[in-house]
Structure 1
């Protein structure tokens, strides 16, 4: 071309597609959308083929990432036609993707309903090109230009995407202006990640290599995503990621978010006592226990003044009487998003010399999750509850009937009941030497927290699986009414019996979510030596610690010759307070040991019993 400048419309459009609409729970109207709104597919313009660059530095996504970018109807930039906002965007794999949220206006909800009904499926992005580069001269064909810098500023839901052949949407009402861009020439130098055009006669070998490479990369992507999904009980998310073409890094991020949601403590803000981050770090389990073990030691009492004050404030916030020192919710969850904490010196008015630098290696709740297998498998923990809790549950749906031409549909309705959670007091006991509790060592603080979490975690796991519902115990999975149950022909189950557990859950259409097996160490040993079929050298216990493709948890709290399979997200573990620490310094006084009791109000429930299968050998 002779001209070094190209005149372009100030605003240009590209078409996209709705990838997924998430149900908002209100008359089946979705409240969020996942959109694919741009790609590096060449589009014919009046000046040639246009390729939108998607590599780092080519997209000015500042406004789209601000949380203020609008979701519009037909590119009409008015308040009435804004039906939502763009919550996040990403540019990977040569595509632009976005998550959008519908607004609450009548117009927004009307459009959302039409999306749910499949009437609206097209998406168009409005953008401004900022820099353009000639990457291929035209020889009997149009030249190809790459937009090396562009700014997306809105995404629209449209009935017919803007006409790409003229470079500007003819359905726009505002007319727009024009811009002139200087062309940078880079002939025959298409970026490595750009598509090689199939109509170029000199690229047959390059196209074949590109196809082979793309195929190999796709196989590797699928395998990696499947492996990550199996390892972290996110197989359903893995299937969706493979279908949507998500990159491995994008899927890893989704898994991290899912794991964070599983571990998210639902703690009432009213139950916090308002500790600052530095004050949370200052709270010491060891100082609290040392003060309780030595009630007549003034130095020990003074050193634990801060812990006593926090416990009293926590008890007042919860409206309950503490037996010893109640650990506040602030401290219990203060480090949920990290494994280590900074160094902090706790100073007391008269006992400061006794208080060393404390490293709180992890929050108690995170330690508890590491120790309780059911929590590690995905069970949901509800913390710091107030009063009895009733969660509505759908137990039956409407029924569909075939009717004749003049027949009437038989009336049916949904059935609903409640999952009721009420506090059961859990007391876990362990012992420490008096000398140990007088230490201010960083390692001692970590040891005490970890040991208490282990004691509580083991009993929570046992009760979650085998709790009888009698003698003040909550009901565990095995005792739930309606839970699936199968029997083993012998103490060591066969491959067919292991698969039958999954089949029992799948038959109730409950095989979704954080699926996995929980067994004891003896059964794991049997799985490692039991072949799926004779002579195959393929064993029930699979590489990566999985069974039947699902994550497997192992704990001594499962009874011998018993096993569990299910969606562990449907197991609820409720806690009504922080851990109440009390000590008995007298029973083992001769040996110099102090018995420590950790008390907590806990209950366990299954949201849907059919989400689980309990199997056992009855012989």
Structure 2
């Protein structure tokens, strides 16, 4: 007999009509299947509840009837005092820094870190960036070129030759480290190691961004505002811009550079300076600063983008608040990108892990003739 066929049990009703017997058997099978389905649904619901409970953040609010350890600990403290508490419950209490406050009610922590905005100068996004494989790289830079002279058919020719110098780029090292306890690494709810990596990258970006603008080249990259050979214009006013036609100063800056460099140029200034010049107009009454008409487009000044650079000077006596030029004339060399080393051994006896972070980067101006900077000065 086929095992998959419907089996008719001995019910003592062999004399019944076969069709009736088949009908009863089908009814019994249907009842069993419905019962099994109901049991399966209950099991599935129970598994879903267990899975939801397991996936619930450990520091989040409890939705079941079981009180949290911190709540039980606080209740035990209120009832029996810390001297009679279970050691595990005592560890769950939060101790106030103010000794007069005693033990505080249990805290809850969100699974994210709230961070204040940290800004840094975005020179790297616009400069020419390369990666080197050695301790230094040198570039030849032309300082003089050949000259052609008009001559007669049989006149003697005049010699001329190009002159060059070498520009050397040496990467400098940025480094720091921080120590974190093993317990904090184990118990935190927001991937502390990943957060440290992000924080290191941000801190290094701030340090190098400042050096790219104001660095003196001693133990750090040479900043664009301290590079030699960049021409300087003055405002004509000892404390700021002239009260009459201040926009003319910026128009003159724009036309100070050759057209090919001006058409590739960008304006560097901080947000305070930008706020001061936003209301200025040219001689035809047109605003110099134009807001973007589409998302992602830059704010422009005389048709060229403005790069908000937090490390630029504010407007003030003998300050340099604005630079204009082709930022491809500033070169950044990376030797080692951001590297993070996890050291669990040095402070193992103290239950801590040390994280070392470092990178090597150098920078300098390769083409000072592509820039002009503005000084607040009367003469």
Normalising by the smaller structure, the TM-score range is 0.5 to 0.7
Instruction: Quote the residue 2:123 is aligned against.
Output: 374
User: For residues 541 and 446 of structure 1, what CA distance do their matches in structure 2 show?
Assistant: 40
Q: Considering only aligned residues, what root-mean-square deviation do their CA atoms show, in Å?
A: 3.6
Aligned residues of 1:380 and 1:571 also touching (Cα < 8 A) = yes
Query: Does the 8 Å contact 1:570/1:607 carry over to 2?
Result: yes
- Relative to structure 1, the CA distance from residue 595 to residue 413 in structure 2 (aligned partners, 3 Å threshold; closer, same or farther) is same
Select which of 294, 298, 313 maps to 1:559: 313
How many residue pairs end up in the alignment? 238
Shift of 1:476: 1.4
Distance change in 2, residues 1:438/1:416 (3 Å)? farther
Query: Which residue, 315, 321, 327 being the options, matches 1:568?
Result: 327
Q: What is the correspondence of 1:435-454 to structure 2 with a 5 Å cutoff?
A: 438=186, 447-454=195-202
Conservation of the 8 A alpha-carbon contact between 2:268 and 2:308: yes
Residue 383, structure 1, aligned to residue 131, structure 2: yes
Answering whether residue 224 of structure 2 is matched by residue 477 of structure 1, we say yes
Structure 1 partner of 2:233? 486
Alignment map for 1:390-539 (pairs within 5 Å): 390-427=138-175, 438=186, 447-470=195-218, 472-488=219-235, 489=237, 490-492=239-241, 494-506=246-258, 510-511=261-262, 513=264, 515-533=265-283, 536=285, 538-539=286-287
Equivalent residue number for residue 300 of structure 2: 546
Kindly indicate whether the alpha-carbon contact (under 8 Å) linking 1:384 and 1:578 is maintained by their aligned counterparts in 2: no
Deviations 1:279-335 (A, max 9, x none): xxxxxxxxxxxxxxxxxxxxxxxxxxxxxxxxxxxxxxxxxxxxxxxxxxxxxxxxx
Q: Using the alignment, how far apart are the partners of 1:482 and 1:387 within structure 2?
A: 26
What secondary structure sits across from 2:141 in the alignment? strand
Post-superposition Cα deviations, 1:255-297, rounded to whole Å, max 9, x if no partner, equal: xxxxxxxxxxxxxxxxxxxxxxxxxxxxxxxxxxxxxxxxxxx
| Residue matched to 1:605 | 364
**TM-score (normalizing by structure 2):** 0.54
Cα distance in 2 for partners of 1:568, 1:415 equals 24
Q: After superposition, what is the alpha-carbon deviation per residue over 1:136-191, rounded to whole angstroms, capped at 9, x for unaligned?
A: xxxxxxxxxxxxxxxxxxxxxxxxxxxxxxxxxxxxxxxxxxxxxxxxxxxxxxxx
Query: 2:255 is paired with a residue of what secondary structure?
Result: helix
Structure 1: stretches of 5+ with no match in the other structure: 1-369, 586-592
Cα pair distance change 1:388/1:549, threshold 3 Å: same
1:603 CA displacement: 1.1
Structure 2 CA distance for partners of 1:371 and 1:476, relative to 1, 3 Å: closer
Distance in 2 of aligned mates of 1:487 and 1:432: 51
Matched, 1:578 2:337: yes
Answer 1 or 2: higher relative contact order, Cα 8 Å, separation at least 6: 2
The secondary structure found in structure 2 opposite 1:410 is coil
Aligned to 2:332, the other structure's residue is in SS state strand
Structure 2 unaligned spans of 5+: 1-118, 293-298, 316-320, 345-351
- How big is each residue's C-alpha offset from its partner over 1:487-533, in whole Å with a ceiling of 9 and x where there is no partner? 222435732221222223228x64354x2011101011112222334
- Structure 2: distance between partners of 1:582 and 1:541: 46
Counterparts of 1:356-367 in structure 2, within 5 Å, are none
Contact persistence 1:530–1:539 (CA under 8 A): yes
* Residues 1:599 and 1:551: Cα distance change in structure 2 (over 3 Å): same
- Checking the alignment, whether the CA contact within 8 Å between 1:428 and 1:455 is kept in structure 2 is no
- Deviation readout 1:405-460 (Å, 9 max, x if unpaired): 32122111111222201122224688989877557878867654443333222222
SS of the aligned residue for 1:504 comes to coil
Alignment match, 1:16: none
Name the CA shift for 1:527/1:437 in 2 (closer, same or farther; >3 Å): farther
TM-score by length of 1: 0.34
Cα contact 1:385–1:574 (8 A) shared by 2: no
More strand by share: 1
Aligned equivalents of 2:234, 2:258: Cα separation in 1: 17
1:381–1:529 Cα change, 3 Å: same
Which is greater in Rg? 2
Give the 3 Å change call, closer, same or farther, for CA 384–413 of structure 1 in structure 2.
closer
Q: Is the 8 A contact 1:430 1:452 kept in 2?
A: no
Q: Are the equivalent residues in 1 in contact too, given 2:342–2:353 (CA < 8 A)? A: yes
